[in-house]
Chain A
Amino acid sequence: MDAIKSFIDAFADPRLFFSLAVGSLALVVWGHEAFASKRWGWGLMAFLVALFGFGLTDENFNLIITKPDNVPIVGLIFLLLFFTWYSVRQGVLNDRRIAAGKPPIEKDEEDRVWTWPDLVYTELIAIVICTIIIIVWSIALEAPLEQPANSANTPNPSKAPWYFLGLQEMLVYFDPWLAGVVLPTLIIVGLMAIPYIDKNPKGNGYYTFKERSVEITLFLFGFVVLWSSLIVLGTFLRGPNWNFFGPFEYWDIHKLEALTNVQLSEVIWVQLFAVALPDSWFIREIFGILLVIGYIAVLPVVLAKKGLTKYYEKLGPVRYYVTVLLFLSMLSLPVKMLARWLFNLKYIVSIPELFFNI
């Protein structure tokens, strides 16, 4: 038992966790046919239950998951798995019907139902069930009365509300103005822009996987991997000083992590050119600035010529550029993560003189 826990703890690392999330997504996309089977669905659910059941035997893990604030996230993990599986399964089933020349299941059904009883009755039942859940929740998980807030005493770790923990995780890799302002704005704007960008009528009103595999993959990557899995990571695996802790590890405030990160300018000037850093910030950071400009301005053009030509032709220049920019912004997080993990790279552009870092 302890050996398993130590084993899991020893591997607990944001890199491994993130790779595992990406890997799982790749497996789901690659093996969606198999994943859609009930055996896999129930199997994974059983695996998750077993994992938590095992975890509950541990004092430290127990402390984290039974904390009233964290209970919704435990629920979220199960719901996330279920709905991912369900949507893929429905899509796969429809794909099979379409391949066999039949319309999707949804087309077989009536497209109009009675308000009463079908709509109102189900809504009523939903209300009743929600009431039950809320009453039981409020009896079982009492909200504690805590000490008065104290500006002189910041809790360690200081965690955002659970739904923002993904954003907070981004703070590890980006400056607050990016992780807290620019990227969330892009997420909201991007979500609003989807209907205007994606005019493809396939998949409207019915589940499908094959017809929209790229979009679904992108969505799952953005939502499940970058958003939800980082919430899970932030809740369960980030402890005091925002250090990474194994699920069965004691949250020791003294745990240390070596901070040996470097800036891109240091890599280029000191390591590559073997000269001291230039005094002028502009010259010092010029390569980083060029790189960023290249990433957001040149790369889309290059991709339009080669690689995404099909999309460029289909979407037209404006929609193409907006799409690629949003896509590249989303990818900037894993890019930054990889740069950190592989090269200890802290900032690509670092201008502390202007409080500006990328």
Chain B
Amino acid sequence: MADKRAVGHAYNIDFLNVVFAVSSLFVLFTTVWMIWDDYDREWKNYQRDFTVLEMEVTRAGLTQAQQDIDQARVAELTAERVVAEQGLASNATQMDELEADLAEIDRELFVARQTYQFTKANYDVDRYAFEVRREEAHAEDPEAEVSGEAAVTALYEEWLAQGLDVEALSARRDGVRGQLASLREGVSGIDEELASLTAEIERLADVVADLEPSLIKNLLNAPMLDLMAPTLTVRQTITPNILDDVNFTVVPKLDRCETCHLAIDRVGYENYPQPFRTHPNLDVYVGSASPHSIESTGCTVCHEGMGQSISFIDASHTPATETQKAQWEEDYHWEESHLWDYPMLPTGMVEASCAKCHKGEVFVPEADNLNLAYGMYERAGCYACHKTAGFEGLRKPGPNLTKLESKLTEEWVANWIRDPRAVKPSTWMPRVWYNSNTDSPEDAVRNEVEIDAVVAYLFANSDDHEFAVANPGPGNAEEGQRLVESVGCLACHITGDETREAAGPRRTFGQPLQSVGSKTTVAWLFDWVRDPRHYNADTFMPDLRLTDSEVADVAAYLSGLTGGTGTGAGATYQAADVDAVLLDYLRAIVPFEEAQAELAAMSADERQLDLGRRAIGRYGCFSCHEISGFEDTQAIGTELSAEGSKLLPQFDFAFMHEEIPHSKRDWIKSKLLDPRIYDRNRILQPLEKLRMPNFGFSDDEARLLTTAVLSFQRDVQPKVAQVPRSARKDAIIDGRNLVRRRNCVACHEIEGDGGNYRDLVEEPHLAPPLLTPEGAKVQPDWLYAFFRDPITIRPWLDVRMPTFGLDDAHWNGVLDYFAAISDAVGPFRTHEAVADATELRTGEELFDLLRCQQCHVLDTIPEGQDLATLAPDLRMSPERLQPDWVLEWMIRPLDIQPGTNMPNFFTEYPGSFYPQFDQDAVAQIRSIRDYLWTFSGGPSPVRGN
């Protein structure tokens, strides 16, 4: 230390020494703290924990493999090997000689190869040098002689000669090796088999050895030293075709989720807690053979969240349930992410992301939540008010109101729109008035004024409707009930007290029939059921081809379904109240004086009608219903085509910021549960209030619809990330949409989805048929004719195929779809089967032997036949079925239609149980098919029933 002279010191050096010592200690502590902080990172601890778990699981696997091994076979092989070894002893001398030879040859070969390679290297250098020299000389004098070419050529010759040496030596070596192998043949074969038996054990043993803790590994992962080559590393996937939109450009996605989710793609970790659990569906996601492998798809394109982050909170994890949320708040101090625009979707909503790549598909295979959500979105008619890409050009979801007068009374309509669910608890019709921002006593008068005005407008603008049959006879209600419950009405309509949620969008595709008797008259019901298109040419309700007396029965039954008359008026009002409300509407568009003048010019009736028109316009009734006077009016809702991409700050939580968590999904869900919720505690003039009606969604319905809304996103993912489009793919997508938008799937199972009608019949075989293989199974001409004019194929079924009255474009779409899903698109196929007489005889005999007719009854079904054993009339075959398909069908009926009653007669295919016929199964099946093709005279849609 410097000498302490009296002058020249500003500080007490002893004091400075103390300060320095203390601060040095602190810097040491903080440095240690810093290193520890890095060592103690969340993901490193997860990886350490996983090492232990992985060890445990692999050891268990190893033990299992050791148990599973065929011990007897191993012992047997080992014994055989001993014997074989002994056999080798006699050749020991010869083998030793050969081994010695081989060693000598290997040595020579090494030298020869090296010489050969060195010569080549020298030759290349000399040649190049000569080339350059010659090039330079020729540049000055093209005729100049350049020496040295001979030396280069000589070197080349030398190199070739050395190559021959190498080849000769290699051949000698192979010869000796061959001799050795043939001497040792017995043993090496046994060794191979032993190795294949124990391969799994050895692989697992190697893994265990790798996982064993070791000093080296500990050193590599030690604090500070882990900067070099730690085994604990951040693991990431970069997906070149899946992009992140970073606003100014797009970049490949970078996901580091695997850093903690270490077993996400590994079988065997299904029951371990997160983050070490295997993905629940490796066949479809993550797995390397799945269509969405982790290398091609990554994680966050589906799950959302911040893929680059390796901390639980920053990755924007989102809890799936309230319990989980509470747990996370305790464990991780979790809170809703504000630093990432797209926080992870909770488990129940992840399928919203499917639509990023599966564009315009209303049905995405395996995405059950999303499919149901889209079904609900259409059924609730969200798209009618909210323009949505992919849902354009659809019909108006509500009934046509242009001929209201023939069907309903004003009182019923007023009670209905006052609270639809009080009349039919499972209706999709929402409540427009008396919602959370209009249900105070002060609002009642205005509500009633508007309701009555709307009703008055609808009735004043109702066209006449003439019933097709003037005085239908009385029907039998009991018979009507039987018909309704058996012919298929229940596929689209519910009659009982089922909730809308339980029935689902498919079984509420048509209006619920609860209290339909209190709603309308028998006469109207008769007219409607008899021919729905007579009342509304655009209806989706098909014709079930009932006779007039059956229709009368149905009408009698339906008119007996009385019940809920709804809620009565909440207030009475005077003419002055109508004027006041109308004036309010008028003032919003014209100056006050003008509004008053306009009002004064109208009679009381005119005022009410004008108000009705304006109220319908304001609440958007016309979006869902055909209403005269609103043919060209634009929908009133916000467009939702990119709602899922909208950023959180653009959602207005108003005064609900305490009650509703700050996330898009909570905002949307709360809006769905109470569409007027964001008006709460606000002072608003009547025309400023929110006007989305209340659908009474259950929590789960709201969750699904939120999923649908979140799935509407702006395009970010490139074409290469999407399923390649082709004519076939287009046919599939259009077809999938069509069979859902017409509710075919309520009755028929197609592509593993639908067939809900099965739940309504006692036995599965009494349900409408599965249509997945239809394209391969039936001839398109026949199917087209069948669609146009269905015939009875399965007489034992009560449920029947309705006549839909679709146009050819639609039917062709369905045919293309069926062909595409059963891979039957292709060149023209013949429907003709050419056969010779012998074959036909064999076919006939087999037909009798296998007793095909016992189930496939030809013509009239005998009395007392067990319905469960019936199958279609085979006389239809030549006209109806594809000849090739019939062959397939007989070989593997259960594969084509799981659960079918058709037995497999050829389980030993191509062998046969019927050796008496001088043919194999291939020919036998063919001859049966050919025999079928001689049939004729069955029911036919082509020629008429």
Mark A residues whose CB is within 8 Å of B: 109-110, 112-114, 116-118, 121-122, 124-125, 128-129, 131-132, 135-136, 138-139, 144-153, 155-156, 250, 252, 254
| Interface residue from B7, B37, B341, B654 paired with A254 (Cβ < 8 Å) | B654
Bound: A152/B341 CA distance, A:
13
Bound: A145/B311 CA distance, A:
11
Chain B residues with CB under 8 Å of A252's CB are 657
Bound: A139/B247 CA distance, A:
31
Interface centre among A125, A131, A149 (most CB of B within 10 A): A125
Name the distance in Å between A14's Cβ and chain B's nearest Cβ: 25
Bound: A129/B26 CA distance, A:
8
| Interface residue from B2, B31, B247 paired with A116 (Cβ < 8 Å) | B2
Chain B residues with CB under 8 Å of A151's CB are 247-248
Contact B9 A114 (CB under 8 A): yes
Contact (A145, B339) CB under 8 Å given A114-B2, A117-B16: yes
Stretch from B17-25, B404-412, B574-582 forming part of the interface with A: B17-25
Contact A150 B247 (CB under 8 A): yes
Bound: A128/B11 CA distance, A:
18
Chain A residues with CB under 8 Å of B34's CB are 135, 138-139
Contact A113 B8 (CB under 8 A): yes
Name the distance in Å between B467's Cβ and chain A's nearest Cβ: 56
Chain B residues with CB under 8 Å of A113's CB are 8-10
Bound: A252/B655 CA distance, A:
9
Chain B residues with CB under 8 Å of A128's CB are 20, 23-24, 26-27
Bound: A140/B10 CA distance, A:
35
Contact (A121, B20) CB under 8 Å given A132-B27, A135-B34: yes
Chain B: which residue is nearest A150 at the CB level?
B247
Bound: A150/B37 CA distance, A:
33
Chain B: which residue is nearest A128 at the CB level?
B23
| Interface residue from B7, B13, B30 paired with A110 (Cβ < 8 Å) | B7
Known A-B contacts: A128-B20, A147-B341, A152-B247. Give 6 more (CB < 8 A).
A113-B8, A132-B27, A139-B33, A145-B314, A147-B306, A156-B649
Chain A residues with CB under 8 Å of B647's CB are 150, 153
Name the distance in Å between A302's Cβ and chain B's nearest Cβ: 50
Bound: A110/B23 CA distance, A:
28
Bound: A254/B209 CA distance, A:
64
Task: Give the 3 A-B residue pairs with the shortest CB-CB distance, closest first.
Answer: A148-B246, A135-B30, A113-B10
Q: CB within 8 Å of A: which of B648-668? A: 649-650, 654-655, 657
Name the distance in Å between B335's Cβ and chain A's nearest Cβ: 11
- The reply on B540 being an interface residue by CB < 8 A is no
Contact (A118, B9) CB under 8 Å given A132-B30, A252-B657: yes
- The reply on B309 being an interface residue by CB < 8 A is yes
Name the distance in Å between B4's Cβ and chain A's nearest Cβ: 10
Chain A residues with CB under 8 Å of B246's CB are 148
Name the distance in Å between A145's Cβ and chain B's nearest Cβ: 6
Mark B residues whose CB is within 8 Å of A: 1-2, 7-11, 13, 16, 19-20, 23-24, 26-27, 30-31, 33-34, 37, 244-248, 306, 308-309, 314, 339-341, 647, 649-650, 654-655, 657
Contact B657 A114 (CB under 8 A): no
Name the distance in Å between B37's Cβ and chain A's nearest Cβ: 5
Chain B: which residue is nearest A156 at the CB level?
B649
Bound: A121/B20 CA distance, A:
8
Chain B: which residue is nearest A126 at the CB level?
B23
Bound: A146/B342 CA distance, A:
11
Contact A153 B8 (CB under 8 A): no
Contact B23 A147 (CB under 8 A): no
Name the distance in Å between A154's Cβ and chain B's nearest Cβ: 9
Contact B24 A117 (CB under 8 A): no
Bound: A174/B121 CA distance, A:
80
Interface CB pairs A-B, < 8 A, 10 = A110-B10, A125-B19, A131-B30, A139-B33, A145-B306, A145-B308, A146-B339, A149-B248, A150-B341, A153-B650
Bound: A122/B26 CA distance, A:
16
| Interface residue from A117, A129, A155, A250 paired with B23 (Cβ < 8 Å) | A129
Chain A: which residue is nearest B30 at the CB level?
A135
Chain A residues with CB under 8 Å of B247's CB are 148-152
Contact A117 B649 (CB under 8 A): no
Name the distance in Å between B520's Cβ and chain A's nearest Cβ: 47
Contact A117 B339 (CB under 8 A): no
Contact A144 B339 (CB under 8 A): yes
Bound: A136/B309 CA distance, A:
22
Chain B: which residue is nearest A250 at the CB level?
B657
Contact A125 B23 (CB under 8 A): yes
Chain B residues with CB under 8 Å of A250's CB are 657
Name the distance in Å between B556's Cβ and chain A's nearest Cβ: 58
Contact B16 A122 (CB under 8 A): yes
Chain B residues with CB under 8 Å of A112's CB are 8
Contact B10 A125 (CB under 8 A): no
Contact A125 B341 (CB under 8 A): no
Chain B residues with CB under 8 Å of A144's CB are 314, 339
Name the distance in Å between B515's Cβ and chain A's nearest Cβ: 44
Bound: A328/B196 CA distance, A:
95
Chain B residues with CB under 8 Å of A122's CB are 11, 16
Name the distance in Å between A225's Cβ and chain B's nearest Cβ: 34
Contact A131 B27 (CB under 8 A): yes
Bound: A125/B26 CA distance, A:
12
Chain B: which residue is nearest A110 at the CB level?
B7
Contact (A135, B33) CB under 8 Å given A112-B8, A114-B8, A124-B20: yes
Chain A residues with CB under 8 Å of B308's CB are 145
Contact A135 B314 (CB under 8 A): no
Chain B residues with CB under 8 Å of A150's CB are 247, 341, 647
Chain B residues with CB under 8 Å of A124's CB are 20
Bound: A195/B7 CA distance, A:
32
Name the distance in Å between B17's Cβ and chain A's nearest Cβ: 9
Name the distance in Å between A184's Cβ and chain B's nearest Cβ: 29
Bound: A295/B10 CA distance, A:
50
Chain A residues with CB under 8 Å of B244's CB are 148
Chain A residues with CB under 8 Å of B33's CB are 135-136, 139
Contact (A121, B16) CB under 8 Å given A135-B30, A147-B341, A252-B657: yes
Chain A residues with CB under 8 Å of B340's CB are 146-147
Name the distance in Å between A139's Cβ and chain B's nearest Cβ: 5
Name the distance in Å between A241's Cβ and chain B's nearest Cβ: 12
Bound: A154/B152 CA distance, A:
74
Contact B654 A117 (CB under 8 A): no
Contact (A109, B31) CB under 8 Å given A121-B16, A125-B19, A125-B23: no
Name the distance in Å between A164's Cβ and chain B's nearest Cβ: 22
Contact A147 B37 (CB under 8 A): no
Contact (A118, B10) CB under 8 Å given A144-B314, A148-B247, A156-B649: yes
Chain B: which residue is nearest A134 at the CB level?
B30
Chain A residues with CB under 8 Å of B13's CB are 117, 121
Contact A132 B23 (CB under 8 A): yes
Name the distance in Å between A327's Cβ and chain B's nearest Cβ: 37
Chain B: which residue is nearest A119 at the CB level?
B10
Name the distance in Å between B162's Cβ and chain A's nearest Cβ: 62
| Interface residue from B20, B37, B657 paired with A139 (Cβ < 8 Å) | B37
Name the distance in Å between A100's Cβ and chain B's nearest Cβ: 24
Bound: A149/B246 CA distance, A:
7
Chain B: which residue is nearest A124 at the CB level?
B20
Chain A: which residue is nearest B654 at the CB level?
A254
Contact B8 A135 (CB under 8 A): no
Bound: A155/B341 CA distance, A:
12
Chain A: which residue is nearest B245 at the CB level?
A148
Chain A: which residue is nearest B658 at the CB level?
A250
Name the distance in Å between A283's Cβ and chain B's nearest Cβ: 33
Chain B residues with CB under 8 Å of A145's CB are 306, 308-309, 314, 339
Bound: A122/B650 CA distance, A:
54
Contact A125 B20 (CB under 8 A): yes
Chain B: which residue is nearest A148 at the CB level?
B246
| Interface residue from A110, A132, A138, A147 paired with B339 (Cβ < 8 Å) | A147
Bound: A110/B309 CA distance, A:
57
Chain B residues with CB under 8 Å of A152's CB are 247
Chain A residues with CB under 8 Å of B8's CB are 110, 112-114, 118
Chain B: which residue is nearest A252 at the CB level?
B657
